[in-house]
Structure 1
Amino acid sequence: MSQANNILGTRDATPEDFAGVRDWVFDLDNTLYPRHVDLFSQIDKRMTAFVSDLLQLPPQEAKSLQKEYYRSHGTTLRGLMDLHQIDPDAFLNFVHDIDYSWLDPDPALGESIASLPGRKFIFTNGDRGHAERTARQLGILDQFEDIFDIVAAGLVPKPAAETYDKFMGLHRIDVEHAVMFEDLARNLTVPKALGMKTVLIVPRNFEAALDDIWEHEGRDGEHIDFITDDLHGFLTSIQS
């Protein structure tokens, strides 16, 4: 049993639980790579810098406002678009100009994803370029059928139901034979309601790793089927 299961009380998954799954949907950041790598901290700092420059705010005020937009609008980008009519392309290009060498290639993860039966997708609130660069650095890009990004979503982020509808409709996802992996519990509410299996990815040293605690609200909800702090280990364990 994983550390996360011990903490949060979910049972271990078995191959039988996933025997009928043919569509495997993965979030990107802090899901396909572990949170402790801290790649997203680079994006977070650049979002703060963007807000600071746009609104001429000191860094700490800009950071607080950025987090407020993230919480109330789903993403900082959505908040800036709704309230300040910014150019989304300019924002996305700026915040994703980061150093991807922080990520080590993960051939074991690539093998475990490749071995899954059926189609695999990345479904992210980031943009396609960021997703491609991240997955390429991990060495897993070729394992995915497609990437559904924030642009494909019409710039409406998860957890909006209409965004899941767009993704499901575009790729003709059979929700009764699909599973979604996410690091944010709130982003699994709609998939579960649609009939998908759900797997929450949590950090190692779970409680010690929590920073913005509100991000993890709902992690003990009934919409979470399984919880793990080791994606590769989990994928290996469910393959017979």
Structure 2
Amino acid sequence: MIRHILLDLDDTLYEGSEHLSSVVDARMTEFVARLLEVPEDQALRMRRYYAPRYGSTLTWLSEGCGLPDPLLDAFLEYVHPEDIRPFIRRPEVDETWLAGLEVPFSIFTNAPLEHALRVLSAIDVSPGLFTRIFDVRACGYRGKPHASAYHHVLSSLGIPASASLLVDDREENVRALVGLGGYGVLLLRDGQEGPYPFPTIRSLRELPRILEELDGRLARL
């Protein structure tokens, strides 16, 4: 049975504007350009080349460029807006709904902890509702979909992958946990269409139905 739910943060606990993604992406390019002292168009080409190979711009800066932790923290601080409220269209859920989940749940995000706390404040959800908040620092600056990030989270919770379920809006993140033997649900946004090899939902409020169906299927095995 599912013993713990891992909830992505951005575009999962809330529906964000497309403008947020463009702002974060532009800030990443600006940071790289200043760091490497190259024009922004060259920095963008470098990011587009290296980020897919390393899994993210952050991991490329860490492993490919050898940036120390203080500079990685500076990157995370720079790219995440200090005021997140203008980028939030609407929260997916509220505290009452979260408290009604029958399975413990944690946040699992590629953002830093301070960004997660700003988001929770903006959508009026208490951090105390979550068992843990696993941010990218907690995972050694290697976020989803790196296997090491999932292993760290599962080890910290003391559960096998087969007892976990991830809800995320990015297919590669869901696919990574499924590949480790866990379960995943893909939260679809406008324009996304299947089919996918795992359950999909259009709203986080559909999650109890998915849990019931999954537990029923597991009980019959």
Report the CA distance between 1:188 and its aligned residue. 2.0
Structure 1 match to 2:168: 182
Q: Which residue of 2 aligns with 1:227?
A: 200
Tell me the number of residue pairs that the alignment of Structure 1 and Structure 2 aligns.
207
Q: What is the aligned partner in structure 2 of residue 29 from structure 1?
A: 10
CA contact (8 A) 1:24 1:179 kept: yes
Q: How far apart are the structure 1 equivalents of 2:148 and 2:84?
A: 31
1:52 paired to 2:25: no
Output the CA distance in 2 between the equivalents of 1:196 and 1:36.
30
Paired residues for 1:146-161 under 5 Å: 146-161=132-147
Shift of 1:238: 4.7
CA distance in 2, matches of 1:108, 1:159: 25
Shift of 1:193: 3.1
With over 3 angstroms needed to count, the CA separation of the structure-2 counterparts of 1:104 and 1:111, relative to structure 1, is: farther
Tell me how far apart the structure 1 counterparts of residues 65 and 199 of structure 2 sit (CA, whole Å). 39
In the TM superposition, 1:69-108 aligns within 5 A as: 69-86=50-67, 87-102=71-86, 103=88, 106=91, 108=93
Moved >6 Å (runs of 4+): none
5+ long unaligned stretches in structure 2: 213-221
Quote the residue 2:180 is aligned against: 194
What TM-score, normalized to structure 2? 0.81
Q: Contact 1:32–1:231 at 8 Å: present in 2 too?
A: yes
Give the TM-score, by structure 1 length: 0.75
Q: Take 1:98 and 1:165, find their aligned partners in 2: how far apart are those partners?
A: 30
Which structure 1 residue ranges, 5 or more long, are not aligned? 1-19, 208-218
Partners of 1:107 and 1:140 within 8 A in 2: no
What is the Cα-based RMSD across aligned positions, in Å? 2.5
Given that residues 105 and 139 in structure 1 are in contact (C-alpha distance below 8 angstroms), is that contact kept between their aligned partners in structure 2? no
Q: Secondary structure at the match of 1:206?
A: coil
Q: Name the counterpart of 1:210.
A: none
